[in-house]
Amino acid sequence: MQTTKGYAATAATAPLTPFSFDRRDPREDDVAIDIKYCGICHSDIHQARNEWGGSTFPMVPGHEIAGVVTAVGGKVTKFKVGDRVGIGCFVDSCGHCAECKRGLQQYCGKGLVFTYNSKEKDGEPTMGGYSDKIVAKQDYILRLPDNLPLEGCAPLLCAGITLYSPLKHWNAGPGKRVAILGLGGLGHMGVKIAHAMGAEVTVLSQTLRKQADAKRLGAHHFYATSDPETFKKLGRHFDLLINTVSAELDWNLYLNLLNVDGTMVVLGVPDKPVPAVNAGSLLFGRKSLAGSIIGGIPETQEMLDFCGKHNLPSDIEVIPIQKVNEAYERVLKSDVRYRFVIDMASLGS
Ligand code: NAP
Ligand code: ZN
């Protein structure tokens, strides 16, 4: 067992506080990692506050993990000590079902083990990346691009893949008009990646405050959703609209912005039901309403290589772990440019 230092939520209403726990010693196909940085995803807040139900405590959140390999088990062939590696939202899956075989482990219906707030196959609770080390199976570990800083890579492990996967699946590219709704952690990676894929990118944000940033990130157009004119101007405009918002928006308004055969992909997870979707919002224009979560291991590696090739680290604000509760409040106020990343050196030795 290895004593691990981190921060945990001990209850849904409690702030995160220092917490020590044990990690297993590496088994034959395990890799031990010193965590250097971990991003703060809005899903961490949802789960630490039990907004989706079923949270278990104490909870060490964090699934945007970037670090360096410190030890490998006897049967590990993919990694060696010193490698720069990442872990995203899951650390195991059944490995046998049709989805696992296709490399779509995120849709494994039998045994997906999330990086935290979940249970390993042996029943041990999983603990996430707001901590100084982690041990995981080699098949669920990613290689980070050499040309990007570790801290800029961390958010790619969730925000990056969560946007890359639907953008690729729904063919974002030259000649396609793509809207990114919500310019937060997910949204800013969506802008960068959709731009690099060659799409015409529009940001839909609550206000005009983030307009200059959006242009710098690669957006061609920017509109405020607080302005009713936006919905008049952009009717039947987009081929693909990626919705990263967790608030209970009226999706009908956004379906109206799709062109014929357009798709709105829901990524944000509202904790309450959204207003009913009218059949007419879909019928008139043969539109699709879809959802997507993260991505499988092969596609996550492909995304990391793509971000390396196109030089697309996340835009981050690095914080010491002692500021994690403050950072949560700022995320909730949409006051993040564009991902908080915890520097694990702040845990001390
Ligand atoms: P985030 O950094 O907080 O970004 C969300 C953005 O949504 C905000 O920056 C804001 O952008 C916009 N927004 C916030 N409140 C709003 C409101 N009341 N009305 C309209 N827009 C609002 O969060 P994130 O980390 O990107 O995560 C977003 C959501 O995706 C969360 O629900 C998270 O749990 C979920 N998620 C899903 C997946 C998946 O696999 N599907 C993966 C990770 C996260 P503007 O300021 O530009 O309006
Ligand atoms: Zn996440």
Ligand 1 centre distance from Cα of residue 186 (Å):
7
- How far apart CA 154 and CA 120 sit, in angstroms, is 23
Q: Which uninterrupted H or E stretch holds 216?
A: helix 211-217
Q: How far is the CA of 89 from the centre of ligand 2 (A)?
A: 7
User: Which contacts (CB < 8 Å, 24+ apart) does range 318-324 have?
Assistant: 318/37, 318/151, 318/342, 318/343, 319/343, 319/346, 320/346, 321/7, 321/130, 321/346, 321/347, 322/346, 324/7, 324/16, 324/40, 324/130
The ligand 1 site (C-beta within 6 Å) comprises: 41-43, 46, 158, 162, 182-187, 205-206, 210, 244-247, 249, 267-269, 292-294, 331, 334, 336
Residue 47 Cα to ligand 2 middle (Å): 10
Maximum alpha-carbon separation in the chain: 62
Q: Would you give per-residue pLDDT tens digits along the chain (349 residues)?
A: 889 999 999 999 999 999 999 999 999 999 999 999 999 999 999 999 999 999 999 999 999 999 999 999 999 999 999 999 999 999 999 999 999 999 999 999 899 999 999 999 999 999 999 999 999 999 999 999 999 999 999 999 999 999 999 999 999 999 999 999 999 999 999 999 999 999 999 999 999 999 999 999 999 999 999 999 999 999 999 999 999 999 999 999 999 999 999 999 999 999 889 999 999 999 999 999 999 999 999 999 999 999 999 999 999 999 999 999 999 999 999 999 999 999 999 999 7
pLDDT score of 1 = 86
Instruction: Quote the CA–CA distance of 47 and 63 in Å, as a whole number.
Output: 12
